[in-house]
Amino acid sequence: MSRIGKKPVELPAGVTASVSGQTVEVKGPKGTQTFKATDDVTISIDGNVVTVEPRGKSKRARQQWGMSRTMVANLATGVSEGFKKELELSGVGYRAQMQGNVLKLSLGYSHDVNFEVPEGVTVTSAKPTEITVEGIDAQLVGQVAANIRAWRKPEPYKGKGIKYKGEYIFRKEGKKK
């Protein structure tokens, strides 16, 4: 049984939700987001509380129960507070800077990497070694941060590369003479 699915989603102040069929629409100060649930769950709104219940006792219904509840909770969090991922660059000459809608990364390649920032996400670089990805869609923010990190993942010997802020890089010992 899903334990997270049993917990109702409390909508923060200033956030409203509406259900039409299997589609949930959440409006807040930062924008509007929608989520289409599968037919395995029933979504209901009572005041400022959204509850998700499974239809039946099948394995798929129980799987969708917890996932749907988490998706609705992410919608509520996104339109009220937003999501944020912070990345750090470590390595000699590794730099990042924003130029319009393009993130220019110097990562030790023979050329600079130009990363086009997708719609719905804001990328800022306050310092040359820090990148902040912000937006209201949790999945999109995480995917953009992962795409930026994929250009130069941290390596285990010197720790050079792009890592998430607070991420622990398992360090290996180098060659012995």
Give yes or no for residue 169 having a pLDDT over 60: yes
Domains 9-80 and 83-164 alike in fold: yes
pLDDT in tens, 23-53: 999 999 998 999 998 888 899 888 889 999 8
Instruction: Tell me which residue of 143, 145, 141, 174 sits closest to 157, measured CA to CA.
Output: 174
Take residue 31 and report the two structure tokens written for it. 């924008």
CATH number of 9-80: 3.90.930.12
pLDDT in tens, 70-111: 999 999 999 998 999 999 998 898 999 999 899 999 988 899
The residue ranges of every structural domain in the chain are 9-80, 83-164
Q: Cβ distance 131 to 87 under 8 Å?
A: yes
Instruction: Tell me which residue of 130, 5, 153, 13 sits closest to 72, measured CA to CA.
Output: 5
The whole-angstrom separation of Cα 79 and Cα 26 is 7
What is the pLDDT, as a whole number, of residue 145? Answer: 94
In the numeric block, the tokens 């799987």 are attached to 63
**Under CATH, to which class is 83-164 assigned?**
alpha beta
pLDDT in tens, 133-145: 999 999 999 999 9
What is the pLDDT, as a whole number, of residue 2? Answer: 61
Q: For the chain, what percent of residues have pLDDT higher than 70?
A: 99
Give yes or no for residue 164 having a pLDDT over 90: yes
The whole-angstrom separation of Cα 66 and Cα 52 is 8
Give yes or no for residue 1 having a pLDDT over 80: no
DSSP-based three-state secondary structure for 154: coil
